[in-house]
Amino acid sequence: MKLQFCKSGIETHKLIRPSARLRRADGAYGGLWQLIAFRLMVCFFTAILFTGCGSAVQYTLSPNYDTKTPYSIAVLPISGEVKDADARYLFRTMVQEKLVQIGYSPIPLEVVDDKLLRKGMGRYDLNAKAPKELAEIVGADAVIYTTITEWDNTLFLSYASMKIGVKLELYDAPTGEKLWESEFNTKDSDMSFETDVMELGIVKAYEPVIQRVVDTVFSTIPAHKITAKMKSPKAYYDWLP
C-alpha cells in the first residue's frame, strides 16, 4: 500500500489494484459460495414443499351407539372457515357419499336444502335451532354437522401447500344426543400440479386431499349394522385375478 499526500497535507491511503490472477481467484470463490448458497436454499424449500404431516384423529362415540344407530341422516350445509363455495360443495358431497359407502341412507342434499329454505333457514341459521329441531324439519333419524376448522392454501410455482381441519358431529333426532364426533387436521405439501391441472381450479386440484381427510374422519364411525351383516368373508379364490 502506497501513501499519498493530498494538497491539504492530510495523509490518505491508496490501495494498489490487485493483479488479474487474484481478481479471477476471488471471483471464482465468490461464485462458488453463491452456488452453494443457492443449492442450500433450493434444498431447504424442497424439504418444506415435500413434507406432509397430520395429527391423530380425535373422536368420541356414544356408548349407546349400537342401540341408537340412525339410518336416514341429513348432511347439513357446511360451516366454518372456508368461504369458497366449491370447497364447501366438495366437503358436503364427499361426506354424503361416504355415508352411503358405509351403509347409511343420507337424505338427498337438494331435499335437505329445500326443507330448510321453506323454513327460511340458510347455512348461517343452523345454530339458531337445536339438532333435534333440525332433524324434525328435514325428516331424518339424525343430522350431521360438518365444520371446517382450518383452511389455508399456498401456491409456489407448480407446488402447493394446504392445511385442512375438519370436525364432524352426528346428533340423534329423538333425543338430541350427540352420537359421534370426530376431528382431524392435516397439512399436505407434497403436491405437484401440471399446468392443465391448475387450469381446472385450485379447489379441483385439492380434491384428493379433501377426500383423504373425509376418509380419515369417517374411519372412527362404525358401518351400519345392515351393511356389516351383508358382508361375508372372502374365500381364498376370491383374491385371485
pTM exceeding 0.75:
no
Q: What is the pLDDT of residues 169-222, one digit of tens each?
A: 999 999 999 999 999 988 755 445 444 444 455 556 678 889 999 999 999 999
- Residue whose C-alpha cell reads 383374491 in the numeric block: 239
pLDDT at position 151, please? Answer: 87
Number of separate helices (H) and strands (E) present in the chain: 9, 10
- Asked whether the beta carbons of 76 and 131 are under 8 A apart, the reply is no
Q: Which amino acid is at 87?
A: A
Closest CA to 71 of 111, 110, 107: 107
Distance of CA 151 to the CA centre of its chain: 7
**Bridge partner list, 186:** 54, 164
Q: What is the pLDDT of residues 126-163, one digit of tens each?
A: 999 999 999 999 999 999 999 999 988 766 555 666 78
pLDDT at position 130, please? Answer: 96
- Asked whether the beta carbons of 52 and 188 are under 8 A apart, the reply is yes
Nine cell digits for residue 203: 379447489
Q: What is the pLDDT of residues 89-118, one digit of tens each?
A: 999 999 999 999 999 999 999 999 999 999
* pLDDT band, residue 73 (cuts 50/70/90): very high
3-state secondary structure of 173: coil
